[in-house]
Amino acid sequence: MQVVIISGSHRLNSQSSKVAGYLAQAVTAADSAAEVVVHDLGVDPLPMWDMDVWNAPEKHEPHWGPLSRRLQAADAIIVVAPEWNGCAPPAVKNLFLFAGNNLLAHKAGLLVSVSGSRNGAYPIAELRASGYKNTRICYIPEHVIVRDVNQVLNPGEPASEDDRYLRERIDYAVKLLLAYGRALTTVRETPGLVDHARFPNGM
């Protein structure tokens, strides 16, 4: 089981990055054999998508090549999206443009949103409504909203009952993600089932 965790904040030392690190530990705790990679788009950003992604992909190899190969190998993906101006940040949407139609197709995805205050629902709603059509990422029904992020998921014991509940909720969501990740290999590996040659884009 290979899991890629995307930290979607553009900022260095972001809270999303902290959350991504916590999630990586949760994946390992749920399945010690799982291989987990965190890609922080604040530390290793992608440039804005341009036509060379299609026409001259070698130009993008230095920044996109390693990440695209990790995504290709992944069975499950976790997208950590901070709420910025009530949106998912452009880096996350840009990643889905780079990913195109095949890298994420029929793979389990867990959405995790992050808010410095009491919000966090908007990136979930936005990403559930957009971005999956051509990528065919399969977001599982469970998602996680991390509210008051500065107060939770910090090193050590839970700082509050909210923090304890959130950690239990993350453990639950991660276990479900891994189960969906295993189950969806059947879809990808069934001969003749996925036909992106005939139907390259979703409707």
Ligand X SMILES: Cc1cc2nc3c(=O)[nH]c(=O)nc-3n(C[C@H](O)[C@H](O)[C@H](O)COP(=O)(O)O)c2cc1C
Question: Where do contacts with ligand X occur on this chain (CB under 6 A)?
Answer: 9, 11, 14-16, 82-86, 114-117, 119-120, 149
For 110, the 3-state DSSP assignment is strand
Structural element, H or E, at residue 126: helix 121-129
Q: Structure tokens of 89?
A: 């940040």
Nearer to ligand X, 138 or 153 (CB): 153
Closest distance of CB 55 from ligand X, Å: 32
Give, in order, the Cα–Cα distances in Å from 72 to each of 103, 113, 141, 188, 190.
5, 23, 23, 12, 17
- Is there a contact between 187 and 86 (Cβ–Cβ < 8 Å)? no
Q: Decide if 126 contacts 87 (C-beta within 8 A).
A: yes
In whole angstroms, the minimum distance from the beta carbon of 135 to ligand X comes to 22
Which lies closer to ligand X via its Cβ, residue 86 or residue 202? 86
* Complex with ligand X: residue 42 or 131, whichever CB lies closer: 42
C-beta of 28 vs 119, nearer to ligand X: 119
Q: What minimum distance in Å lies between the beta carbon of 18 and ligand X? A: 8
Nearest distance in Å: CB 36, ligand X: 19
C-beta separation of 115 from 83 below 8 A: yes
